[in-house]
Amino acid sequence: MIDSHHALSIRRQAQLAGISRGSVYYVPKSVGAADLALMRRIDELHLEHPFMGARMLRDQLNRERFDVGRKHVGTLMQRMGIEALYRKPGTSKKHPGHEVYPYLLRRLAINRANQVWALDTTYIPMAKGFVYLTAVVDWASRKVLASTVAVTLEACHAVDVLQEAFNRHGQPEIVNTDQGSQFTAHEFVQAVKDRGCYLSMDGRGAWRDNVFVERLWKSVKYERVYLHAYDSVIEARQSIVQYMDWYNQSRPHSSLGKKTPDEAYAVMLPTVERAA
């Protein structure tokens, strides 16, 4: 699909193909089969028991006959971009130069589409190596407004998917994220502010602040990702895009009165936006 000998630059070809330039050069990360199996199981355990830290995960893995220590589990968790979700003392180090914003959603009634958008990133296992999935979700309707699969946790991917959501769906009053470095980066913060949106950030490790996005990741993984062994980034991206379309159009939610996210989003839009 990408021709290194074409008159167009590789950057421009990637833009036209709708993929990041990094994906063009992607080679599956050099991770041994044993570590890939560990990461897959850590991911499954984290989805089921998000409060588990490296020590608890080690103990559980040891019970399942994985020979692994706490430090190695912690290293793999860091590589996967996950951490235990629970309220912690405010002693965690922020990324140097990155500002963390307060959580604005506590006691806020969220009942309109485009009132609050949430962004989050999750680890996606492949047959060899792994990638990261970032999604923009409308909080009230659970509609996935945009998503992207990338090979790194760089802020540019979060900015790209947010801009896609802006272009397709307008803009919300508040954008909520966790405190991942891709979301605290100046590039991302500025993209939010340039649209006149307020930026809200979850308390570090506070599971209650992003529980519904965690449920989305659980659905994506158990209903699609874990059923496939992706051989390439393009294959993973196409499969997940297909799932997100089905999720929005056909998957009813009990919390939405059995409506699909698309149906809920349409009726929850303010009257002015619906008319437009």
Q: Is residue 107 part of a domain?
A: no
Question: Do 219 and 247 meet the contact criterion of CB atoms below 8 Å apart?
Answer: yes
The reply to whether 52 and 163 lie within a common domain is no
Domain final residue pick, 56, 80, 104: 80
Query: How many structural domains does the chain have?
Result: 2
Give the model confidence (pLDDT) of 49-94 as tens digits. Answer: 888 899 999 999 999 999 999 999 999 998 888 888 754 433 234 4
The reply to whether 60 and 128 lie within a common domain is no
Query: 157 falls in which pLDDT band (50, 70, 90)?
Result: very high
The reply to whether 145 and 221 lie within a common domain is yes
The reply to whether 127 and 58 lie within a common domain is no
Rg for the chain, CA atoms, rounded: 19
CA atoms of 229 and 236, how far apart (whole Å): 9
Domain final residue pick, 55, 80, 105: 80
Give the model confidence (pLDDT) of 106-155 as tens digits. Answer: 889 999 999 999 999 999 999 888 999 999 999 999 999 999 999 988 89
For 219, other C-beta atoms within 10 Å of its C-beta total 15
The reply to whether 140 and 226 lie within a common domain is yes
Extract the tokens encoding 239.
């499969």
The reply to whether 129 and 57 lie within a common domain is no
Q: Is residue 91 part of a domain?
A: no
Query: 32 falls in which pLDDT band (50, 70, 90)?
Result: confident
Tokens 């959501």 belong to which residue? 165
Q: Is residue 197 part of a domain?
A: yes
Residue numbers of the domain that contains 51: 10-80
| CA 254 to chain centroid | 23
The reply to whether 227 and 141 lie within a common domain is yes
Name the percent of the chain lying above pLDDT 70: 80
Question: Do 162 and 195 meet the contact criterion of CB atoms below 8 Å apart?
Answer: no
pTM, 2 dp: 0.76
The reply to whether 195 and 128 lie within a common domain is yes
The reply to whether 26 and 128 lie within a common domain is no
Report the CATH number at residue 177: 3.30.420.10
Tokens 């874990």 belong to which residue? 226
Q: Is residue 187 part of a domain?
A: yes
Selected residue with higher pLDDT from 92 and 33: 33
The reply to whether 72 and 121 lie within a common domain is no
pLDDT for 10 beyond 80: no
Query: 209 falls in which pLDDT band (50, 70, 90)?
Result: low
Q: Is residue 26 part of a domain?
A: yes
Q: Can you give the length of the chain in residues?
A: 276
Selected residue with higher pLDDT from 227 and 97: 227
